[in-house]
Amino acid sequence: MSKNTGQAKGEANGDGFTDTQLQESHGQQQSSRAGLFLPFFLSLVACSWFTWGGIAISVDANGFDLHPDREMTPDELAAREARAKARMAEQLYVTYCGACHQPHGGGIPGTYPPLDGSEWVDSGKRMAALTYAGMIGKIEVLGQTYDNPTGMPAISKTANLKPEQIASIVNYVRDTWSNADKKYPEVTVEEIQAAQKELEDRANPWTPEELLEKYPFGGGSE
């Protein structure tokens, strides 16, 4: 009897498969489903982690708070204000200076001089005068000569920028790229206003020689 039963189990059914083969096939399908589910589950966990990680980075970088009802500490408020100020300064620089001097501050060889590492940015007063009246003529920067026939525009006037905006641009240039290593002091809005007041009757752009005569290299980093 048991022999016949064993034979029956080993006999093929109507589909041409034995019971043993069907059981093995079913087990393989279950293993396959499990094998597919595990990578999917791990991918879902990874995506969630990256999503929340990105939110956390965005919160930290942009000053947003996932808990707006929580009162921020003075240090957090100061950090958020500094980040906002830095973003505004970078945007102003890219908008009004980036096309010529480039977002990386490296300029364009032969035409637009670099600001990164430039000796011409060591004086805040010189930069205030330069942005107020502009400049035209050949200029030497870091041992290289640059000659742009149209010169540098007086962006304070042509772009109708406020002293606060000029101060942001000047400080951004002096505190970015390799210039940050020089640790130039911050140029205040009041200093920009004073420089513009002193030059309010000037109508013509500077020549490099005129600008250096009034604000010589090594004359102070203010």
Q: Is residue 84 part of a domain?
A: yes
- pLDDT at position 35: 55
- pLDDT at position 82: 87
- pLDDT at position 98: 97
- pLDDT at position 89: 97
- Rounded to whole angstroms, the Cα distance separating 155 from 35 reads 64
Do residues 188 and 155 both lie within one domain? Answer: yes
**Final residue in a domain of this structure, among 62, 94, 110:** 62
Tokens of 8: 């029956």
Containing structural domain, residue 182: 78-214
- pLDDT at position 5: 47
- pLDDT at position 59: 47
Q: Is residue 221 part of a domain?
A: no
Q: Is residue 72 part of a domain?
A: no
CATH code of the domain containing 167: 1.10.760.10
- The three-state DSSP-derived secondary structure of 199-222 is CCCCCCCECHHHHHHHCCCCCCCC
Average pLDDT, consecutive stretches of 10 residues, N- to C-terminus, the chain (222 residues): 47 55 55 53 54 46 56 88 93 97 97 97 96 97 95 96 98 98 96 96 96 88 57
- Rounded to whole angstroms, the Cα distance separating 214 from 126 reads 8
- pLDDT at position 52: 47
Do residues 156 and 50 both lie within one domain? Answer: no
Do residues 97 and 52 both lie within one domain? Answer: no
Q: H-helix or E-strand containing 54?
A: helix 19-62
Neighbours of 177 (CB within 10 A): 16
- pLDDT at position 218: 86
Q: H-helix or E-strand containing 13?
A: none
Do residues 99 and 157 both lie within one domain? Answer: yes
**Is residue 142 within 8 Å of 179, Cβ to Cβ?**
no
